[in-house]
C-alpha cells in the first residue's frame, strides 16, 4: 500500500489535531521490520556510524537489483535544527540552477526478500532542539510501520589500535532487555546524544532496542573511518543473523589501514604509541575471546555462501 500526503497529522486524546512536521511519501508493505538509525554529529566519531548506514542503503544494489531503498518520509528541518550549528549547503543541480540542501532526517524502507525481515533505515543529522518531540515523531512512525525492534549505530573516539579487529559494544538500556536480547547492560552515565533519548522512549513504549557502538582510533579520527563502519555492519550481521554484501566497504577498510600504517612510519612517536596499544589489545584478547571471533567470522562466511 502506498499513499502520499503533504504532512502527517495526529489526533490527541482530547480530540484536537496536532500538526506534525513529517512529510509522508509512501507507506510500503514491510515484513516484521527492524528500524536501524544513525545520526551524524555527536554520536558519529569519524563518520563511522553514518558511514555504516550509508553502506546499508546501497549494499544490495550490486547483487540484488530488486532491493532499492524507498523514501517513506522526511522530517521538516526548520522545527528541529539550528541552521547556524548545522548549516545548509548550496550546490548546482543538473540544470545548473542553484539549490539548497537542508539538514534533515530521512526514513527509508528496504525490502529484503532473501531475509526473514525487512529494514527501515533512519538517516539524519542529530537535531539541535526539541529532542523529545523529534523522538516521539520517529517512534510514532515506527509504530505505524509495525517495527519490531530498533537498532542504533554510534561511534566514539577511543584508545584502540587501528591494526587490530575492532570490537563493537552491543548494549541495551535495561537489565531485563539485555538478558533477553543477549546484549550487555549499558552502564554509561553522563552527557548523552539523541540516541540516548530514543532508547529511553523505546523503554517507555515497550519497544525492543539495542545500541551498537564502534570505537574509532583517536589518532586516526578523520572521516571517513571505514574499518569502524565495517565493524558495525559485522555486529549487525551477527545480531540479526543477516548477510550484508560488503566488498566495497571491506576494500575501503583495507586501504584505510594501509594509509594509517604509512602515516605511522613517518612519525616515531605515533608508531611507538600504536605499538603500545597493540600490545595492550593483544594481552586482552585471551584465547577464548579469539576463538569466539573466529567462530563469528565463520558464521558470517556461511551466511554469505547461503545467499550467493
Task: Report pLDDT for 21.
Answer: 77
CA distances from 202 to 1, 73, 139 (A): 26, 20, 8
Is residue 231 over pLDDT 80?
yes
Task: Report pLDDT for 297.
Answer: 57
Q: C-alpha grid cell for residue 212?
A: 551498537
Q: At what angle do helices 247-265 and 268-284 cross, to 10 degrees?
A: 130
Residue 158, helix vs strand vs coil = strand
> Which residue, among 33, 54, 51, has the nearest Cα to 112 in the 3D structure?
33
Task: Report pLDDT for 2.
Answer: 44
Residue 89 and residue 304: Cα distance in Å, rounded? Answer: 39
Task: Report pLDDT for 223.
Answer: 87
Residue reference for cell 543477549:
182
More confident residue, 246 or 32: 32
Q: What is the mean pLDDT of residues 203-228?
A: 94
Tens of pLDDT, residue by residue over 235-275, are 999 999 899 998 799 999 999 999 999 988 999 999 999 99
Which residues on adjacent β-strands are paired with residue 13? none
> What is the overall mean pLDDT for the chain?
87
Task: Report pLDDT for 132.
Answer: 95
Task: Report pLDDT for 161.
Answer: 94
Task: Report pLDDT for 257.
Answer: 95
Q: What is the mean pLDDT of residues 14-37?
A: 78
Tens of pLDDT, residue by residue over 151-203, are 999 999 999 999 999 999 999 988 888 998 889 998 889 999 999 999 999 99
- pLDDT over 90 percentage in the chain: 67
Q: What is the mean pLDDT of residues 4-25?
A: 53
Task: Report pLDDT for 261.
Answer: 94
Q: What is the mean pLDDT of residues 90-116?
A: 93
Residue reference for cell 566519531:
45
Residue environment code for 7-36, b if the CB has 16+ CB neighbours within 10 A, otherwise e: ebeeeeeeeeeeebbbbbbebbebeebbbb
pTM of the model: 0.86
Q: What is the mean pLDDT of residues 19-45?
A: 90
Residue 186 and residue 177: Cα distance in Å, rounded? Answer: 11
Is residue 11 over pLDDT 70?
no
Residues with Cβ within 8 Å of residue 209, at least 6 apart in sequence: 149, 150, 151, 152, 172, 173, 177, 198, 199, 202, 203
30 CB-side CA count, 13 A = 28
Banded model confidence at residue 18, pLDDT cuts 50, 70, 90: very low
Residue 211 and residue 195: Cα distance in Å, rounded? Answer: 8
DSSP state of 44: B
Task: Report pLDDT for 169.
Answer: 94
Tens of pLDDT, residue by residue over 271-307, are 999 999 999 888 887 655 555 655 555 565 555 566 5
Tens of pLDDT, residue by residue over 58-67, are 998 766 667 8
Task: Report pLDDT for 302.
Answer: 58
* Domains along the sequence of the chain with CATH: 30-307 (3.40.50.10900)
Amino acid at each position: 500500500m502506498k499513499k502520499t500526503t503533504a504532512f502527517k497529522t495526529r489526533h490527541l486524546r482530547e480530540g484536537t489535531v496536532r500538526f506534525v512536521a513529517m512529510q509522508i511519501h509512501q507507506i510500503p508493505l514491510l515484513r516484521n521490520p527492524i528500524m536501524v538509525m544513525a545520526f551524524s554529529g555527536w554520536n558519529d566519531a569519524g563518520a563511522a556510524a553514518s558511514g555504516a548506514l550509508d553502506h546499508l542503503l546501497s549494499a544490495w544494489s550490486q547483487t540484488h537489483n530488486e532491493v532499492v531503498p524507498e523514501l517513506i518520509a522526511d522530517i521538516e528541518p526548520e522545527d528541529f535544527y539550528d541552521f547556524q550549528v548545522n548549516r545548509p549547503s548550496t550546490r548546482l543541480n543538473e540544470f545548473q540552477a542553484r539549490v539548497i540542501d537542508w539538514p534533515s532526517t530521512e526514513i527509508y524502507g528496504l525490502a529484503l526478500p532473501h531475509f526473514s525481515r525487512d529494514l527501515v533505515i533512519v538517516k539524519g543529522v542529530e537535531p539541535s532542539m526539541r529532542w523529545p518531540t523529534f523522538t516521539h515523531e520517529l517512534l510514532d512512525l515506527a509504530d505505524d510501520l509495525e517495527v519490531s525492534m530498533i537498532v542504533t549505530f554510534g561511534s566514539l573516539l577511543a584508545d584502540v589500535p587501528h591494526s587490530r579487529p575492532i570490537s563493537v559494544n552491543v548494549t541495551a538500556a535495561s537489565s531485563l532487555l539485555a538478558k533477553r536480547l543477549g546484549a550487555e547492560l549499558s552502564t554509561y552515565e553522563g552527557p548523552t546524544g539523541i540516541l540516548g533519548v530514543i532508547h529511553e522512549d523505546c523503554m517507555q513504549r515497550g519497544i525492543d532496542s539495542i545500541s551498537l557502538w564502534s570505537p574509532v582510533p583517536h589518532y586516526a579520527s578523520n572521516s571517513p573511518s571505514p574499518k569502524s563502519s565495517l565493524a558495525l555492519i559485522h555486529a549487525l550481521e551477527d545480531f540479526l543473523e543477516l548477510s550484508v554484501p560488503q566488498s566495497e566497504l571491506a576494500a575501503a577498510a583495507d586501504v584505510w589501514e594501509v594509509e594509517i600504517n604509512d602515516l605511522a612510519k613517518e612519525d616515531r612517536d605515533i608508531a611507538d604509541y600504536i605499538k603500545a596499544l597493540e600490545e595492550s589489545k593483544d594481552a586482552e584478547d585471551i584465547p577464548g575471546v579469539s576463538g569466539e571471533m573466529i567462530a563469528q567470522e565463520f558464521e558470517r562466511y556461511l551466511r554469505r555462501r547461503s545467499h550467493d
